[in-house]
Amino acid sequence: MATRRKFLHNLGLGSAALLTAPKLFANQEIEKRIIKNQFLPPIVISTWSHGIPANTEAIRVLKKGDSALNAVEKGVRVVEADPDNHSVGIGGFPDASGHVTLDASIMDHKGQAGAVCYLEDIVHPISVARKVMEETPHVMLSGVGALEFAIKQGFDRQKLLTPKMEKIWCKWAETAEYKPEVNFENHDTIGLLALDKKKHLAGACTTSGMAYKLPGRVGDSPIIGAGLFVDGEVGAATATGMGELMMKTVGSFLIVELIRNGYSAQEACEIAIKRIWDRYSDDQDSKYFQVGYLALSKDGDIGAYAILPGFQYALAVNGENILVDSDCLIKE
């Protein structure tokens, strides 16, 4: 598996090839920190191995000269439409009552935001989230209201519980034991961040949430600042994993604020993970849960960090699209 260092080497990006950071900050110490891992746009970074096909689509859109916003939407739609992905869109794990309920959010470089949560029967919640952003004065629609809005906007209704997942759910329902797995068995939300040639940032995050969650549960993915945050002047961050932990620490917002204050994207992700660990690792329920963050600054600085081993991300830049093992806090 490619390590981060190996990946940088593969790209031929030794320290000599790193880009020079623009003078953003008065404090020189802070300036030094941001001259790391910087790439030229277009750049796309996304969670887990399904990020590879999502990045391919997003980069295709960006190479046409299209916007980061279109790229993030089109990129994650690839994963939403894949019935073999069991945490996003059609084919996702249902909640405890057998309903597949979807959460999604999207943000552009101007700080506009749209989200849906607890949405059923729609294959592409990310596109409904974009409609919420562009066609309503609101940021988030939920449940039945979100579904009615989607139908009015011309989205088709479709059953999201596939026969395969129905069978798996029926088997689970025999004991109905709620025991979330640590890594991708149960955490493969796609969060995707893009920087286009105009240096406009955008982000999208979409999921069916935790398998067998309590009916009505909404995770971090549609919550602006938790599962996704974009500030076009600074950077973007997205999250995967145990949503409650990102929600309680407003993790994606925290990362962008740290970048604003001069931390590199990598340092910002590490601090946000450490915040979770310091606050919640004594809590038995939270101790063994995974969280993975990705960050992309306006200057092309990237960051990735997780609590536990196993988190991977896909990075598309300089004509490459490679799966990278993220570093993590607890190296077991």
Q: Which is nearer to ligand SD4, 299 or 325 (CB)?
A: 325
CB contact set of 38 (below 8 Å; sequence gap of 6+): 18, 19, 21, 299, 300, 301
Q: Which is nearer to ligand SD4, 41 or 243 (CB)?
A: 243
State in angstroms the smallest separation of the CB of 40 from ligand SD4. Answer: 29
Known catalytic residue at 238: no
State in angstroms the smallest separation of the CB of 3 from ligand SD4. Answer: 22
Q: What is the C-alpha to C-alpha distance for residues 82 and 24, in angstroms, rounded to an integer?
A: 41
Residues 265 to 324 in contact with ligand SD4, rule: CB under 6 A = none
Size of the site for ligand SD4 (CB under 6 A): 14
Residues 179 to 208 in contact with ligand SD4, rule: CB under 6 A = 187-189, 207
Residues 91 to 150 in contact with ligand SD4, rule: CB under 6 A = none
State in angstroms the smallest separation of the CB of 227 from ligand SD4. Answer: 6
Q: What is the C-alpha to C-alpha distance for residues 316 and 46, in angstroms, rounded to an integer?
A: 9
Residues 220 to 259 in contact with ligand SD4, rule: CB under 6 A = 220-221, 240-243
State in angstroms the smallest separation of the CB of 241 from ligand SD4. Answer: 5
Q: Which of 234, 226, 179 is nearest to 207 (CA)?
A: 226
Catalytic residue among 189, 206, 207, 240: 189
State in angstroms the smallest separation of the CB of 102 from ligand SD4. Answer: 10
Residue 46 binds to ligand SD4 (criterion: CB under 6 A): no
Q: Which is nearer to ligand SD4, 273 or 317 (CB)?
A: 273
State in angstroms the smallest separation of the CB of 31 from ligand SD4. Answer: 34
Q: Which is nearer to ligand SD4, 222 or 232 (CB)?
A: 222
Distances (CA, A) of 138 to 116, 129, 205: 11, 10, 18
Burial of 282 (0-12, 13-18, 19+ CB in 10 A): exposed
Residue 159 gets the label, from left (phi > 0), alpha (psi -120 to 50) or beta, of: beta
Q: Which is nearer to ligand SD4, 61 or 230 (CB)?
A: 230
According to CB under 6 A, which one of 46, 67, 85, 87 is a site residue for ligand SD4?
87
Q: Which is nearer to ligand SD4, 240 or 249 (CB)?
A: 240
Binding site for ligand SD4 (CB under 6 A): 87, 187-189, 207, 209-210, 219-221, 240-243
Which residues are part of the catalytic machinery? Answer: 189
